[in-house]
Structures are given as structure tokens and as C-alpha cells.
Amino acid sequence: MSDAPDRKICIVNGDDFGASRGVNRAIVEAHRDGILTSASLMINMPGAEEAAELSAANPGLSVGLHVNFTNEGDSVIDLADIEAARAELDRQYELFLTAMGRPPTHIDSHHNIHRRPELAPLFHALAARHGLFLREHSPVRYFSTFYGQWDGESHPEHISPQRLVSVLETEILPGYTELACHPGYVTDDFSSGYAVEREVELRSLCSDAVKRRVAEPDIELVNYSQIRTILGPMAPRPVQI
């Protein structure tokens, strides 16, 4: 493992771990047979308990907290109620500790709810208090556009193996990058507008062409635990706030 500044060091992170059996199965498959290195767990979803068990069986998969305030459009809380949001954020963190037996390696949120100006300070405070990598607010650059849907239309070509090879060649820059993805199998225990695209993503993450590309010496795949080691004193540390 290299810490040279010109290295392209990439985390491939699967969002929505715990959302369903199908998502869980796909994330583990993408980790074992593909290029996925980390995942973000929705601790308040039906598949969370299974996801925790799968995590224990796959110690090379670093797991963070994918804070879920919104589900798939049916909000868990009143997003305008800051104190309710603070309490729910703390609750989900504690649920993660209980289920996983350890802190998350990083934190992000479903539908990027942590970007909302009124909620962002809550996420910053939690990340600072526990020394967590917070998506878009750490030394790790966030690349989000490996995604197969926009304007209500599906674009499987945007998440094909060829497209992912292109992303790896042109969008993973020197330094540290998180490439977000959403692999999954469509099952009846999770209703999402982003459905069949998840299976396309999974095939791309496990494709021979993609695996050959990441085997080239200019890209180094790591997980969030390894990034902490690489960064050393530059990695987030708990602070009293």
C-alpha cells in the first residue's frame, strides 16, 4: 500500500446496506467478487440485522453509517424539527454501535440529507465528536455520478462496465477518492425508484473489464479503515465539542 501523493487511492462504497435482502446480497457479492471495498449501513431498515451478520463474516468490508431520515420518500422524522433530527441521528448512531459492536468507519446519509444547511451542523458535530470521516467533508473526495437515473428516466449505459472503466481512468484523481455506488438485487422487501439499475451496477462492479482496470498499478483500492491508517495524524480524531 502506497501513500505517495501521486497515487490514485480509491474507496468503492456501496450505499444502502441493510435496506433489503437483495441489497445486502449484492453488496457482499460486489465485495467478494468485484471491486467494492466499503459500505454504508441503513441501521433502521429491515435488512440491518442481516447486514450486521454479513459484515462480521466479511471483515475486509469497512462499514459506515448511512443515516436514514427519509426512507424512499416517507420521512422518518419532521425534517424541520432540529431537535427531533438531533435525537434521531444520535439514536441511529447508538443502534449502529449495538448492532455492529464497534463504531462506524465513516458517516454519510440517504439522499444526501446531510447537505441541508439546517441539518449539516448536526452531522458535523457527530462526526467531530466521534472522529468519523463525513462524506464531502474529509480528505477523501466524493465522486457521486456513477448513477443510472436522472429526470425520471433510466440510463443503464451510464453504469455499464465500459462507463465504470472510463470513470476509473478519468475521474479517479491522484489522492483519495470515494466512488459511491448502489448495487442490489430487486426484491419485494424494498420499494425504490432506483431498482433495476442496481443490478446493472452490480454486474459492472464484478465485470472482468473493471477488475482488470483496477489491477493496473496506477489505482489502489482500499477501504475506510485503511484510509485512516494511510492518513495517520491527518485522519479525523474525536474532539470535545
**Chain centroid offset of residue 99 CA:** 18
Specify if 240 maps to a domain: no
Q: Structurally, how many domains does the chain consist of? A: 1
Q: pLDDT averaged over consecutive 10-residue blocks of the chain (241 residues)?
A: 71 97 97 98 96 97 97 88 98 98 97 96 97 97 96 95 97 96 91 91 98 96 96 92 68
Whole-number CA gyration radius for the chain: 17
Residue 5's pLDDT is 58
Residue 6's pLDDT is 79
Cell numbers linked to 218: 496506477
Specify if 2 maps to a domain: no
pTM: 0.95
Task: Give the DSSP H or E segment for 204.
Answer: helix 196-205
Specify if 219 maps to a domain: yes
Specify if 3 maps to a domain: no
Q: What is the distance between the alpha carbons of residues 213 and 181, in angstroms, rounded to a whole number? A: 17
Domain boundaries, position 28: 8-234
φ and ψ of 165, to 5 deg: -60, -45
The CATH number that applies at residue 82 is 3.20.20.370
Q: What is the distance between the alpha carbons of residues 215 and 50, in angstroms, rounded to a whole number? A: 31
Specify if 128 maps to a domain: yes
Q: What is the distance between the alpha carbons of residues 45 and 1, in angstroms, rounded to a whole number? A: 35
Specify if 241 maps to a domain: no
Specify if 101 maps to a domain: yes
